[in-house]
Each structure stands twice: as structure tokens, then as C-alpha cells.
Amino acid sequence: MKLSGKVALVLGGAKGLGRELVFSLAAQGVSVATTYWDWPEESASLGSELAATGGNHLTVATDLRDPQAVATLFAEIHSKYNRLDILINNIERGGMPVVHGEYTSDQWDLELATTLKAKRWVFNHALPLLKASGDGAVVNISSIAGLVGRSGPAGMIFNDGYSAANRAVGLLTETWARAGAPEVRVNELMLGFFETRHARGTRGWELLSEEQRQAITDHILLGRTGRSAEVVKAINFLLTDADYLTGATLRLDGGYVLGGEKIPPMPPGVE
């Protein structure tokens, strides 16, 4: 896929990773439609900063948990572009135990509605446009919470509902790859601890003690948390260079999932 001239929808563009992705794609000649809802200060500047790039962009306030709001979003995309080539399903809500403590019913519902349900409604509306493109690509962004759950040093950051929702994203990725083929590639980028996503720049990370943060870092084989620029590179790969990849999950976690198991010394053997 050549990015220049394409139209992309990036969910959650107001701050953090979503914002990085919006401006990275815009810099590569993509017309970007993006959504915002929370974070009023960041949302207020998003439209003007994106317009300053000089491209044909669109910012829409959308509560992605509401199917009717999603339908309205796609009516605007259809009216402005009459096409869609790329969907970056970057929408989630994580209830960190260190922040929220014990679950309330509302917090559980919020996590599943944002992390899982919203992705489904967006994809459902996007699929006809992506198929019509003939060269469409979807990246579902998920978390290693779907593999490790509320266990080990990550247990202070990943809660049960968020973890369950992220495991379900993998099933959706495979189902949607079947639904989109052959015109649309659907892949999943499963993230570990990154700045502005689970690590530095998040409220939960700052609430951890130094010992708790170090325990997470020690569990990562590469000995550090990730940088948002590394996520951008991985998404660019999935969009532009992974022509024969669909229904797959690329785990970008620095080796966190493997880090709990050490390799023992080789025994001498028996003569």
C-alpha cells in the first residue's frame, strides 16, 4: 500500500498514541479522519493543529460506545471523502487496579463497551468502504493484558474486564480477516508497556511505587518500556509492507510475555 492519497480513520486522536498516529499519517500524505470525546484540552487543539498540516482532514466528536453516533460519524466520512482505505481501531478504556481499586458495575461496563464493543460497531460500518477501496487495511490495537491478565507485576495495571476485552479482540481480528478478504487485510498490534499507554505518561504508572515500576521493567526482556515512535513504525509496517499478512497478531512488548520464565543452566547429562 502506498499511503499518499489514502483516507484513514484513526480512533481516539486527541492524545497519546492516537495523536501520534494521526500526525504521522498526515505527514505521509494521508487524509485523516479522527475522533475525540474525552480530554477537553487536548481535543480543543486537535482540529486546529491538524488543519495546520494543510491536508484534507476531519475531526469529529463521537461517543464510540453509541452505535447511532458511530453511524453519524460514517455519514460524515462518506459525505467528505466517499471512501475509506485505512482503519486504525485505537480505542480502549482500561480500569487500572492501582487507580480504580475494586470494580464497580459501571467501570466494568465502560471498559468492555469502549475496548471491545466500539471496535465492532466501527468495523461494521467501515467494511463496505474498505472493500470498495480494493486495497483496504485495518489495524486493531490491543494489549498484552489479553494474555497475562491481572497477574504478576502487570496486575497493578491490567484489570480483569480490560484483559477479557483484549483477549476477545483477537477473535474479532480473525473473524474480520475472513470477512474482509481478499480486498481488506485485518491485523492486530498487541502492545506491552509504552509511554502514554500503560507506562510513562499515564496516571496509573505514576501511582506505582518505584519498586512496582522496576518490577515491570525487570520482567521485560529488553529491560525498558516502549516508545510511541516504535508503535508508529510497527503500524507503518502493517499498512505498507505486510501485503501477505492478514488475520495475524504482531506482539510488540519488548518480551514482557516471555520475561517471567528464565532459562536454567544445561544439566551435565547422564553417562
Residue 254: the pLDDT is 98
Residue 175: the pLDDT is 98
Find the domain containing 176 and state its range: 7-246
Residue 130 is assigned to a structural domain of this protein: yes
For residues 62 and 73, is the Cβ–Cβ distance under 8 A? yes
Residue 270: the pLDDT is 83
Residue 252 is assigned to a structural domain of this protein: no
Residue 124 is assigned to a structural domain of this protein: yes
Burial label for 248, CB within 10 Å (0-12, 13-18, 19+), is middle
Where do we find the cell 492478514?
246
For residues 59 and 13, is the Cβ–Cβ distance under 8 A? yes
The C-alpha cell at 16 is 497519546
CA distances from 83 to 16, 50, 67, 114 (A): 26, 20, 20, 25
Strand partners of residue 137: 86, 185
Percent of the chain with pLDDT over 90: 86
Residue 258 is assigned to a structural domain of this protein: no
Residue 167's domain is classified under what CATH number? 3.40.50.720
How many domains does the structure of the chain reveal? Answer: 1
Strand partners of residue 249: 188
* Span 203-224, pLDDT tens digits: 999 999 999 999 999 999 999 9
Residue 269 is assigned to a structural domain of this protein: no
In terms of Cα–Cα distance, which of 206, 223, 169, 218 is closest to 191? Answer: 169
Task: Please work out, in degrees rounded to the nearest 5, the angle formed at the alpha carbon of residue 14 by the alpha carbons of 56 and 66.
Answer: 95
For residues 55 and 26, is the Cβ–Cβ distance under 8 A? yes
Residue 271 is assigned to a structural domain of this protein: no
In terms of Cα–Cα distance, which of 196, 210, 216 is closest to 156? Answer: 216
The C-alpha cell at 243 is 501485503
Which of the residues in the chain have pLDDT under 50? none
Residue 92 is assigned to a structural domain of this protein: yes
